[in-house]
Amino acid sequence: MRPPQHPRTRALWLAFLLHRVSGILLALFLPLHFYLLGLALRDAEALDGYLALAAHPFLKIAEFGLVFLLAAHLCGGLRILAFEFLPWRNWQKGAAAAALALAFAFACGFLLRAF
């Protein structure tokens, strides 16, 4: 009998962790997102200031992280929906890896357009 990996180092447990952590971080980002959107309605000058700040390369990298979190949460959610509502398939690890790869591809696509 092959010794299984420790409960918290397995691919599907890590996929669960990524989905949870990305969800929490996105929820924490939302207030800032809505604040900036609100500026568009009441303070165009301040909004322009923030948009100019967003052109900084460091913020582009941070946005790459944000897009990755969003894509990872979306793809991870679709994976779980497929797992729970479609007929069972034995390639669950493959689906998790595909979701991660797709999320990374989305984020890289954003980064290529950003610079």
Partner 1 sequence: MKPATDTIRVLIRRGDAHSGRICVYRAPRRENQTVLDVVTWIQRELAPDLAYRFSCRVGMCGTCAMMVGGAPRWTCRTHVKTVLRRGQLELAPLRSLPIIKDLACDMSEFFAKWRRAEGRFHSSPERSGRAQPPVKILPSTPARREADAAIECINCAVCYSACDVVAWNRDYLGPAALNRAWSLQNDARDSAHARRLRAVSAGGGCQHCHSQHSCESFCPVGLSPARSIAGLKRALARGALGIRPHSPPHA
Q: Which residues of the shown chain bind partner 1 in the complex (CB under 8 A)?
A: 1-8, 10, 12-13, 16, 80, 83-85, 88, 92
Smallest Cα–Cα separation from 74: which of 26, 9, 42, 7? 26
Query: What end-to-end distance do the CA atoms of the chain give, in Å?
Result: 51
| Closest CB to partner 1 among residues 58, 88 | 88
What are the structure tokens assigned to 79, written together?
């994976």
For the CB of residue 12, give the shortest distance to partner 1 in the complex, in Å.
4
For the CB of residue 3, give the shortest distance to partner 1 in the complex, in Å.
5
For the CB of residue 77, give the shortest distance to partner 1 in the complex, in Å.
11
What 3-state class would DSSP assign to 91? coil
